[in-house]
Amino acid sequence: MLQLDSFHAGICSVCNSFAACNCRMDGRCPRGGITGIRWILDCVVIQVIVRWAVPCFVMITGFLLLDPQKDIDLKKALRYVLRMAAVLLTFGLSYCLMESAVADGFGNIPELVVKSAKNLIEGHSWAHMWYVYMLIGLYLLLPMFRIFTKYADKNTYVFILAVMFCFTVLRPTANEMFQVELEAYIPISTAFPFYLLLGQYIRQYGIKKGSSVLLVIFGTVGTAVGQLLSLGNQPDNLCVMLYSAGIFSLAMNSSFLEKAGKSKFIKQISKYSFGIYLIHPLFLNILNKVLGIFPDILPTGIGELAFFIASFSGAFVLSWILCKVPLVREIL
């Protein structure tokens, strides 16, 4: 069983934060879209590089919170739920208000607030906030998953993960690749419980380094081909799952990351990683919707790098500032 979770999970959170700030580069170009080398960079290369971010965030959650040796009872699990609810009521509602104000103006404030609240309840805040809604669901089920991880042996782990893999990863991938509609009347509708348990499985039993490398290679190539063919690249895609699991396994077993995780720089980024995720689209939307600036005003590669630096550094600084505010600090 892996023991150095604070170092490894911390630096993995840092890498995820970097990746998250690049996830939407394919949507950061003007109305006419993008072609040529820029399309290859934005819609294939960058997307292949960063698609492991969300699966690894969920695996980190499982790696840390499903540890049988940790004391996480129902009361603590509900505190996690309340924290995410507070995030939605602050950041999520703020983003809904911004969108409503841009679309309809400030002529009718009560109507603006009601519309924004309705959008928040319906899950129509900014796109990246879906992750917070999903976390609420996982945290509500955390007590059940913890009972499983406390008593399950390796064979039971493998069986349950195999069942989840078939219905939440293989089935959606087959539906997309072959344009079929394979139904699954099994009460598991997303791949995220699979990733949650996989994170703890890797902690307890690990994946051999050679196997992890093969997962990364095969998954990366498959994801690149899928991007070129305009197939899906979501967490329930087989290739995304393979190279996400491979990257996470390698990260959790890396002696280099163990050393890097002790640096002050990594600890600072890790400390604010959730805030960076929540805030980074704010700066992208200011550039796009307010200033009308897109990456293609600069040469290919430079524009994307400039946008990444702007969103990441801006989100880091604002997260640092907000963490000085007592109540906000509690949810970030």
Q: How far is residue 190's CA from residue 172's CA, in Å, rounded to a whole number? A: 10
pLDDT tens track of the chain, all 332 residues?
A: 444 444 445 545 555 555 555 555 544 444 446 678 888 888 788 888 888 888 988 998 999 899 998 888 899 999 999 999 999 999 999 999 998 888 888 878 888 999 999 999 999 999 889 999 999 999 999 999 999 999 999 999 999 999 999 989 998 888 888 888 887 677 777 899 999 999 999 999 999 999 999 999 999 999 888 888 877 778 899 999 999 999 999 888 776 566 666 677 777 777 888 888 899 889 988 888 888 888 888 888 898 889 888 888 999 999 999 999 988 888 98
DSSP 174-228: HHHHHT------SS--SSHHHHHHHHHHHHHT---HHHHHHHHHHHHHHHHHHHH
Q: How far is residue 269's CA from residue 265's CA, in Å, rounded to a whole number? A: 6
Q: What angle do CA 19, 277, 141 make, to 5 degrees?
A: 105
Predicted confidence at residue 21, as pLDDT, reads 56
- How crowded is residue 112: how many other Cβ atoms within 10 Å of its Cβ? 18
Predicted confidence at residue 13, as pLDDT, reads 55
Predicted confidence at residue 198, as pLDDT, reads 96
Predicted confidence at residue 30, as pLDDT, reads 45
Predicted confidence at residue 8, as pLDDT, reads 46
Contacts (Cβ under 8 Å, ≥6 apart) of 129: 88, 91, 92, 95, 278
- Which helix (H) or strand (E) segment is 17 a member of? helix 5-20
Q: How far is residue 249's CA from residue 244's CA, in Å, rounded to a whole number? A: 9
What are φ and ψ of residue 119, in 5° steps? Answer: -60, -40
Give the tokens for residue 46.
């960058």
Q: How many residues does the chain have?
A: 332
Q: For residue 234, give the 3-state DSSP assignment.
A: coil
Give the tokens for residue 199.
């994170």
Predicted confidence at residue 304, as pLDDT, reads 87
Identify the residue whose tokens are 């524009």.
303
Q: How far is residue 157's CA from residue 200's CA, in Å, rounded to a whole number? A: 10
Instruction: Say if CB 311 and CB 281 are below 8 A apart.
Output: yes
Predicted confidence at residue 32, as pLDDT, reads 47
- Torsional sign, CA 213, 218, 223, 225: positive
Nearest to 247 by CA among 64, 67, 60: 60
Identify the residue whose tokens are 């976390």.
135
Predicted confidence at residue 1, as pLDDT, reads 43
Predicted confidence at residue 265, as pLDDT, reads 74
